[in-house]
Amino acid sequence: MKIVITAGPTREKIDPVRYISNNSSGRMGYALATAALDLGHDVTLISGPVAIPVPEKANLIKVVSAAEMAQAVRDHAPDADIVIMCAAVADYRPAHPWDSKLKKMPGKLVLELERTEDILGTLGKNKRPGQMLIGFAAETDDLEANALGKLERKNLDWIAANLVSDGFGTDTNRITLYHRDGKKIPLPSGDKLSVARSMLHEVLP
Ligand code: PMT
């Protein structure tokens, strides 16, 4: 099968040297790519800026911003059998990034932010019959309710729910899978590769 996996953070430019980003290490998405390659699948890994080794044989596409990730997903998702959105995509970006390095000035600086594209929401609207769409939910509170809301709103087949304290920027993770038909599957927690293997064991047809 052709599997597209996104991983890592995005960076949203403020000026030539500053950006808004988050603590995603890319490890969960890269572990999913490794697990899928080990099962013999064709993997396209769309990755934000990370500092970890690339799984051998993955078709790696490097991106920086949410807009670049959205474009890469548009290029590769349409003919994928499965899309797994594990990336921690920024929801907001500076509305008017500066072309030159910002200088210190007296008083406060107010940064205006605008929404980025909801890549997963767009995928859900354009899902091909037979295509499987898997999202992630990273939450600090109300994990199950928030994950189920995203599963339905974004027209997903599965959502992998993890607490920020369990999985964001860490070496290990604890994930609960929810299927659109109501099934709930808590996976054994552990290092990200073992969690990725358990996850693919449950979701792959
Ligand atoms: O990278 P690691 O350090 O290994 O950490 C792994 C992880 C915690 C980042 C990963 O397991 C995870 O939870 N990824 C999703 C993080 C996230 O941004 O969750 P969210 O609840 O904000 O977003 C919900 C879903 O919408 C996600 O599938 C996300 O990829 C997607 N999204 C979000 C914003 C956006 N503009 N477009 C999107 O498609």
Q: pLDDT tens digits, residue range 67-118? A: 999 999 999 999 999 999 999 999 999 999 999 999 999 999 999 999 999 9
Q: What's the CA dihedral at 39, 36, 33, 72 to 10 degrees?
A: 130
CA distance 136 to 159: 5
5 within ligand 1 shell (Cβ under 6 A): no
The rounded Å distance from CA 29 to ligand 1 centre is 10
25 within ligand 1 shell (Cβ under 6 A): yes
Look at residue 67 in the predicted model and tell me its pLDDT. Answer: 98
> Average pLDDT of the chain?
98
* Average confidence (pLDDT) over 123-130: 95
The rounded Å distance from CA 176 to ligand 1 centre is 14
The rounded Å distance from CA 109 to ligand 1 centre is 29
Give, using CA atoms, the residue closest to atom 14 of ligand 1. 86
Look at residue 12 in the predicted model and tell me its pLDDT. Answer: 98
Look at residue 40 in the predicted model and tell me its pLDDT. Answer: 98
166 within ligand 1 shell (Cβ under 6 A): no
Helix (H) or strand (E) segment spanning residue 191: strand 190-191
Look at residue 7 in the predicted model and tell me its pLDDT. Answer: 99
Look at residue 45 in the predicted model and tell me its pLDDT. Answer: 98
Helix 27-38 crosses helix 192-203 at what angle (to 10 degrees)? 60
Confidence of residue 41 (pLDDT cuts 50, 70, 90): very high
Report how far Cα 160 is from the mean position of its chain's Cα atoms: 11
Confidence of residue 17 (pLDDT cuts 50, 70, 90): very high
Instruction: Go through the chain and tell me how many residues it has.
Output: 205
The rounded Å distance from CA 87 to ligand 1 centre is 5
168 within ligand 1 shell (Cβ under 6 A): yes
* Average confidence (pLDDT) over 141-169: 98
The pTM is what?
0.98
Rg of the chain (C-alpha set) = 17
What number of CA atoms fall less than 13 Å from residue 8's CA on the CB side? 22
CB 190: neighbour CB atoms within 10 A? 15
Confidence of residue 139 (pLDDT cuts 50, 70, 90): very high
Is 22 a residue of the active site?
yes
Look at residue 185 in the predicted model and tell me its pLDDT. Answer: 98
Residue to substitute in 24, 178, 189 for testing ligand 1 pocket (most ligand atoms within 8 angstroms of CB): 24
